[in-house]
């Protein structure tokens, strides 16, 4: 394995999980990517699944907004997928470093806060292919039967609205996910220390959050 001194194993594991998805579903569209190992251990992406928008802002900016803004531009960035998404940001993010994923390509930050990436996605049901990947017996993962049971149990949550059901994959019908996963990979790998993901839509975020929790 190549040693990565730029970031830690928590972020690298999340990035490797996305590469696994790309190779599994869209292997003919990407070059084989070597796995990297970090020199340091670290946390996987933080998923704000039970956090209201205002609370997410406090976590990102801190309780002292003026002081937190001084720090924010140098080491932290708020990432979203498009300029339209940026224009919709709540007013309490005015003045901080907020940029699209495309604009951040090639840049690095200590902390990356990914805001409404799935909520603002043009893909909807297509995100369920992540669950299809998890339960494929070809992975020889003894947890895949438990995953099916967990998904079935989670369906009782009315907020999930059917989004934790596996989806039969069709490359032609679900090709949008190739670019979605590549964008997600770019966003996560901008971070050196910490990735925090906030999505306001419980149903839309369910497949991605479940996938990251299982890494």
β-strands 191-198, 46-47 pairing: parallel
Q: How far is CA 138 from the centre of its chain?
A: 24
- The H-or-E segment that residue 183 falls in is helix 176-188
CA angle 71, 73, 76 (to 5 degrees): 80
Measured distance CA(14)–CA(83) in Å, rounded: 25
User: How many residues are there in the chain?
Assistant: 215
The two tokens of residue 149 are 């049971």
Per-residue model confidence (pLDDT) at position 3 = 83
Residue 197 in 3-state DSSP? strand
Per-residue pLDDT of the chain (215 residues; tens, 9 = 90+): 588 888 999 999 999 999 999 999 999 888 877 778 877 899 999 999 877 888 888 777 766 555 444 355 568 899 999 999 999 998 888 888 899 999 999 999 999 999 999 999 999 999 999 999 988 877 656 676 677 777 777 767 778 878 988 999 999 999 999 999 999 999 999 999 999 999 999 999 999 999 999 88
d(CA 133, CA 152): 16
Contact 118, 208 (CB under 8 A): yes
Using a 10 angstrom Cβ sphere, with 0-12 exposed, 13-18 middle and 19 or more buried, the burial of residue 62 is middle
What pLDDT, on the 0 to 100 scale, is given for residue 138? 72
Phi and psi (nearest 5°) for 182?
-65, -40
What tokens does 132 get? 């299809």
Backbone region of residue 140 per phi and psi (left: phi > 0; alpha: psi in -120 to 50; beta: other values): left
Whole-number pLDDT of residue 42: 93
């Amino acid at each position: 394995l190549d040693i990565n001194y730029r970031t830690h194993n928590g972020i690298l594991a999340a990035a490797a999980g996305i590469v696994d998805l790309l190779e599994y579903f869209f292997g003919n569209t990407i070059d084989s990517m070597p796995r990297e190992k970090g020199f340091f251990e670290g946390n996987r992406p933080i998923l704000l699944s039970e956090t209201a928008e205002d609370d997410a802002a406090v976590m990102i900016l801190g309780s002292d907004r003026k002081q937190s803004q001084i720090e924010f531009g140098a080491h932290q960035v708020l990432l979203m997928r498009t300029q339209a998404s940026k224009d919709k940001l709540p007013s309490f993010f005015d003045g901080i470093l907020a940029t699209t994923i495309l604009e951040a390509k090639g840049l690095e930050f200590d902390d990356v806060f990914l805001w409404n990436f799935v909520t603002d996605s043009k893909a909807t049901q297509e995100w369920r292919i992540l669950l299809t990947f998890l339960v494929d017996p070809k992975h020889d993962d003894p947890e895949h039967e438990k995953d099916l049971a967990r998904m079935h149990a989670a369906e009782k949550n009315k907020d999930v609205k059917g989004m934790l059901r596996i989806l039969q994959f069709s490359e032609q019908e679900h090709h949008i996910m190739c670019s979605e996963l590549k964008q997600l990979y770019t966003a996560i790998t901008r971070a050196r220390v910490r990735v925090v993901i906030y999505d306001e839509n419980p149903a839309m975020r369910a497949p991605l959050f479940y996938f990251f929790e299982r890494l």
